[in-house]
Structures are given as C-alpha cells and as structure tokens.
Amino acid sequence: MIEKKFLTRTECGKDIVAYTIMNASGASVTLCNIGAAIISVNVPDRDGKLADVVLGYSDPLSYFGDGPCMGKVPGRYANRIAGGKFILDGKEYTLPVNNGPNHLHGGPEGFQNKVWESREHEGGVEFMYFSEDGEMGYPGALKAVARYEWSEDNELRLTFTAETDAPTIVNLTNHAYFNLNGEGSGTVLDHELRLNASEYLPTEGTLIPLGESEPVAGTPMDFVTAKRLGRDINEDFPALRYGKGYDACFVIDGAEEGVLQEAAELYSPESGRVLSVFTTQPGIQIYTGNWLAGCPESKNGGHYSDYDGVAMECQKFPDTPNRPDYPSAVLRPGEVYEEAIIYAFSVRK
C-alpha cells in the first residue's frame, strides 16, 4: 500500500510531498521529494515493537541546505573531489568548494537540495531529477532516477539510473542515518558493525584518499569481525583524528560491476534489530554522525547529538575523477548508469 501526502509548499511554490509504503505486517518506509529522501523506516524489534530507525527533521523544509545531508541522495557526485577540480577528456572542470578546500556531495546546490519529480510506479516510488549542463560546474545534461521498493520481508531496495547527453561523472548514494534503537534514542556507538571489507582508503587531513587502499588488519578500521562502533573510535589513529570518528571509505571485498554484494551488517544488541546492506557499488563510506550536533530540530522535537546515527553510503570511491586507477565514475552518451542498494531489516532474538 502506498499513501501520498502533501507536507508543505516552498516559497517558490513547489509542493513537498511524502510517500509511505506499508507492507502487510505494518512495517513501513516514508520517502520525500526533497533530495529523494528516506525520512522514516518503521520496523519491529525482537519483541515485535515498531520504531522509526532513521534520523530526520520535524519541519520538512529543514531538509533543504542541512549539513548532515539527512536521508537524501547527494549528487551529481557523492563524497569529495579534491580542490573542486577534475579533468575529463583533456578538459578541466571547476566545481564549487564547500568542504574545506574540497567539493562535497555535488556542491551547495547539489541533488540533495533539489525538489525531485515523483510518482508511484509499478508498486514502488520513483523520483526523477534533471540536471542542466553546467549545473554546479558539471558537464552534460543528466537525467537521474531513484526508485524505491519496499518488500513484505522488510527490504528497502533503491535503484539508481542516469543518462547524459555529454561525457560527465556520476556517483549516487543515499545518506540516511540509522539508529536501530529508534531515532532520538541516543548514541549508536553500542551498535555492532561488520563490514565485508578487508581494505580501506587512507586519506590526508581533508579526507581525500592518498591513493591505494591498505589492509584494515591491525588497525581501528578493522570491522571484518563485528565490533562496537565505539570500541576504537577514540584511538589515536589518523583516519579517526581527521574525521572526529569514522568517516572513511571501505573497499568492498569481491565487488564486481553490476553484481549485488554484501557490504555491511549493523546490529543493535539492545533492540535486536539487524540491518544488512547489499550493493553493486565498489565502496561503502562509514560515517558515525560525528557532526550531528547543531542540526535542525529532530522528528521527536529534540536535538540530535554527535554519534546519534550512522550513515552507510554505498558509492564509488572519493575523488575517483582524479584517480584513473579507481573504478571509473565516467558516464558517456548512450550508456546507462545503474547501481543498486538494498537495506534488509531483520531481528536477532
């Protein structure tokens, strides 16, 4: 069942709407056309009690221009591009710098801050955004579609497609923050995370990768065996100092273009909820909400603190346009960009 609801209207007259998809068990997902956002996921704990496990805001308009990129689809290029510059086919392109010296999430007017067109279609909800040639400095007019489907087994499937009329770069993900005890319940540092990633990308101080990936073994970046997010977060280690916590891209073991692969499993011992993440993407950025304090009023009428949610962003690697050795982010006319992410919710007794 899909229910569409009008939320509010922007100053320029655009309707902000939400779609709630509910399955037979009563578990549901709510999506919004601001940034094609996930604004609510209600799933049961080990006792069958439903709770919303995605962070979000009380005022829909707060989703515009927020620092955390709460629940939204950043673009045209998620994550960082060094110095806001890249070269494609011999031509240099300049993008707005909005994260220290770097370009982040497509810039201040990235896809996450746009009202997407939306519709119910074949049992799911589709959002479409048309990005003009030159928008935020990117070449080529790009049509991007984000399709969400919610299953009877509490699996949220997100499929991205994009097409362009000129060579460009594309990297799309979702930036939802999860708290498996329920949003507003406090820290996620007691959640246990396991990653299908034996290597990660070390960075310099502004979180631009230095180059080749390195083994996580013997470092605080090792989540090959599940451990608490907070166990090593205060260790004196470069990746943790630079980000005030985890904000790093992990290389998914066995990643193969177009093939769904397990990327992560998040578990809350308190609630029993489990979130398994699968993707066709080569990397997953783990961000422990290190700068959530000070963001707009939360859905529960309070305010989030740092580490109250964790984002697991399946994506191409950061700064790929400047790294020919990384899996390519180039999209050319006649090609179709297509990537998928599955968030599968379950419980552990």
Residues 60 and 108: their CA atoms lie apart, in Å, by 18
Catalytic hit among 126, 183, 192, 313: 313
pLDDT band at 168 (very low <50, low <70, confident <90, very high): very high
Q: Which pLDDT value is given to residue 36?
A: 98
- Contact status, residue 288 vs residue 310, Cβ threshold 8 Å: yes
Active site residue 191: no
Residues 307 and 28: their CA atoms lie apart, in Å, by 25
In the numeric block, the tokens 């080569």 are attached to: 282
Q: Which pLDDT value is given to residue 165?
A: 98
Tokens encoding 201 = 């990308």
pLDDT band at 178 (very low <50, low <70, confident <90, very high): very high
The predicted model gives 194-213 an average pLDDT of 98
Per-residue pLDDT reduced to its tens digit, 283-326: 999 999 999 999 999 999 999 999 999 999 999 999 999 999 99
Per-residue pLDDT reduced to its tens digit, 229-265: 999 999 999 999 999 999 999 999 999 999 999 999 9
The predicted model gives 209-237 an average pLDDT of 98
Contacts of 294 by beta carbon, 8 Å cutoff, 6+ apart: 67, 303
| Nearest one of 136, 137, 126, 134 to 165, comparing CA atoms | 134
pLDDT band at 26 (very low <50, low <70, confident <90, very high): very high
Q: Which pLDDT value is given to residue 166?
A: 98
Per-residue pLDDT reduced to its tens digit, 101-144: 999 999 999 999 999 999 999 999 999 999 999 999 999 999 99
Catalytic hit among 175, 191, 192, 339: 175
Active site residue 335: no
Q: Which pLDDT value is given to residue 247?
A: 98
SS (H, E, C) the chain: CEEEEEEEECCCCCEEEEEEEECCCCCEEEEECECCEEEEEEEECCCCCEEECECCECCHHHHCCCCCCCCCCCCCECCEEHHHEEEECCEEEECCCCECCEEECCCCCCHHHCECEEEEECCEEEEEEEECCCHHHCCCCEEEEEEEEECCCCEEEEEEEEEECCCEECECCCCCEECCCCCCCCCCCCCEEEECCCEECCECCCCCECCCCEECCCCCCCCCCCEECCCCCCCCCHHHHHHCCCEEEEECCCCCCCCCEEEEEEECCCCCEEEEEEECCCEEEEECCCCCCCCCCECCCCCCCCCCCEEEEEECCCCHHHCCCCCCCEECCCCCEEEEEEEEEEECC
Q: Which pLDDT value is given to residue 155?
A: 98
Tokens encoding 38 = 């996930």
Q: Which pLDDT value is given to residue 142?
A: 98
The predicted model gives 17-32 an average pLDDT of 98
Q: Which pLDDT value is given to residue 196?
A: 98
Q: Which pLDDT value is given to residue 113?
A: 98
Q: Which pLDDT value is given to residue 188?
A: 98
pLDDT band at 92 (very low <50, low <70, confident <90, very high): very high
| Nearest one of 116, 107, 113 to 136, comparing CA atoms | 107
The predicted model gives 31-36 an average pLDDT of 98
> Structural domains in the chain?
2-347 (2.70.98.10)
Q: Which pLDDT value is given to residue 214?
A: 98
| Nearest one of 29, 55, 27 to 156, comparing CA atoms | 29
